[in-house]
Each structure stands twice: as C-alpha cells, then as structure tokens.
C-alpha cells in the first residue's frame, strides 16, 4: 500500500550530495572530503555519473567538496574549543553527524531545512541502518511561512550557550532584506558564537570559464520555479556584516580554498569561482 505522504528531498540537496560522492568515485586521492552517505540514501540510477549535471560540472563539484570540507573543519575546531551547539541552516543531506560519531556526541546538532527534505532524510537514514541519536535534532521549516528562528527555539536550542552556525546554498534564494534579517537574528546568539555563511558573486565577477555554466544554472533555477535572487560582491557582504555589528569579520574566497585544499593535486581539480564565505563572531 502506498503512503499518502511520500516526501522527496530537494533537488539541489540531492545533487550536491551526489557531487560529494562523485568526488570519491571519480577524482584522485587525497580526497578533499570523503562523503558517500548521501549516495547511499539516494541510491541513484545505475548511469547517474553520466547525467549532464554530473558529467560536465567538475569545477562545481570541486566547489561543493571544498565548501563541505571548509565548514566541517570549522565545526570540528569549534567543538574542540568547547562549543556544544552546531546549527546547519540549509542542512540538505549533510552527513556530519553520521561520519563523525564520536565528535558529534559532544554537541547538539540542529539541522534546519524544508520539511520534505528532512522527513525523507530521516526515513532513509533509519532504512540504511543509521540510528538517530538524541543529540541530532531535525528542524523542519517552510521558509516562506514560518520562522527558522522560532522553530529552532522549539527544538530546545539554548541561546545562552555558544554555537557554531553554518549556512550553505541558502542566500542565493533569499532577498537582501531576508539575508539582513537572518544576520540580525544571528547577532542574538551567545557572545563567542561563530557563523560561516556562503554567498555568491555576480556573474561578471566569475572567472570567464565559469560564466557560461552559471548562466545555465540561473536559467535552470528560474525554470524550476526556484530562481536565484541574490548575488553580492565581497565588499558588499563585508559592509553588511559590519553595519549589523558582527565581529572579526572576514571573507574566504575560492582562491583561499584552492590554496588550502587543492595545492599540488595531480588531477588538476580546482573549484569554480562563484562562491565565498562570510566568517564572523558574535
């Protein structure tokens, strides 16, 4: 008998999870990050690696694994410094909790995303033999009709304690006003909390070889009814962060990622140029 409610993961969340897996299947060692959990949950069709969004997007794949490694390194560092709460805003099919079980036990993890994506993920984790520990909290939010901030509170998040908040793949879909509101809310975190938020450059600021792919992505997102809304120069994001009152503001570019994670690779794997991180303290 079919379930009336048959949740499915967001297409972007599924694609980025497969890119992380494809890095392990297709690229040379050393791996930037080794993450096949999303692949296990998705169980894609046999020829999935031949799909155009997999076969012709090597630089985008490199960007995805670079940002995943960057955020994971920050999370590990923060937990080792005694932070007990880790919030993933736009968690998708992230698998930090599944791949870092010992470290994850030391922290409450709050995964915030669309209800369907999280319901599907939870179901598939159980089906694939992953337990859902008490410290892993799923926070379903319809971003158009409810407040992720309020929902986070309902799940027991403690605003008096330091936290690390990561946000990837989200700001593209938000207006400048919504992004500003999110940053203002984050200033209410306990002093000493740290945030890492991904932003996206205007197409004219990309490396020439990345511009055609971004144009295609923009058209595809619009056609799917989820258009990309916000692109920012680095200086505009820094200005926004400083005006809101964030501390120790810095940005991490693609070139920084390349230097940190890709130097000396024999397979010439390099990330696309469209994404950068705002890192700041509260």
What is the topology classification, in CATH, of domain 11-281?
A: Rossmann fold (3.40.50)
Of 25, 93, 12, the residue nearest 55 (C-alpha): 25
Cis peptide before 30 (omega within 30 of 0): yes
Task: Check whether 52 has a pLDDT greater than 90.
Answer: yes
Confidence of residue 142 (pLDDT cuts 50, 70, 90): confident
Please report the pLDDT score of residue 3 as a whole number.
43
Asked if residues 273 and 210 have their Cβ atoms less than 8 Å apart, the reply is yes
Domain boundaries, the chain: 11-281
State the Cα–Cα distance between residues 132 and 138, nearest whole angstrom: 10
The answer to whether the predicted template modeling score (pTM) of the entire model surpasses 0.85 is yes
The pLDDT mean for the chain works out to: 95
| pLDDT tens string 55-82 | 999 999 999 999 999 999 999 999 999 9
Q: CA-to-CA distance for 112 and 142, rounded, in angstroms?
A: 10
């Amino acid at each position: 008998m079919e379930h009336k409610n048959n949740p499915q993961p967001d297409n972007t969340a599924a694609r980025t999870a497969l890119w992380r897996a494809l890095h392990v299947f297709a690229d040379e060692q050393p791996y930037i990050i080794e993450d096949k959990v999303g692949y296990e949950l998705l169980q894609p069709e046999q020829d999935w690696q031949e799909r155009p969004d997999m076969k012709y997007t090597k630089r985008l794949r490199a960007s995805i694994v670079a940002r995943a490694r960057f955020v994971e390194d920050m999370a590990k560092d923060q937990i080792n410094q005694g932070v007990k709460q880790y919030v993933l805003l736009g968690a998708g099919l992230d698998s930090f909790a599944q791949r870092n079980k010992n470290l994850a036990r030391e922290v409450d993890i709050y995964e915030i995303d669309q209800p369907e994506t999280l319901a599907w993920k939870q179901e598939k984790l159980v089906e694939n033999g992953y337990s859902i520990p008490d410290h892993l909290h799923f926070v379903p939010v319809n971003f158009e009709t409810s407040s992720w901030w309020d929902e986070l509170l309902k799940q027991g998040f403690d605003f008096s304690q330091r936290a690390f908040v990561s946000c990837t793949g989200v700001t593209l879909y938000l207006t400048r006003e919504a992004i500003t509101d999110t940053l203002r809310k984050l200033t209410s975190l306990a002093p000493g909390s740290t945030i890492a938020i991904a932003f996206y450059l205007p197409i004219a600021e990309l490396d020439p070889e990345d511009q055609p792919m971004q144009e295609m992505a923009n058209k595809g997102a619009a056609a799917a009814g989820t258009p990309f809304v916000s692109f920012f120069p680095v200086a505009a994001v820094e200005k926004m962060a400083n005006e809101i009152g964030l501390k120790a503001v810095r940005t991490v570019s693609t070139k920084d990622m390349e230097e940190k994670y890709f130097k000396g690779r024999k397979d010439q794997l390099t990330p696309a140029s469209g994404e950068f991180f705002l890192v700041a303290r509260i």
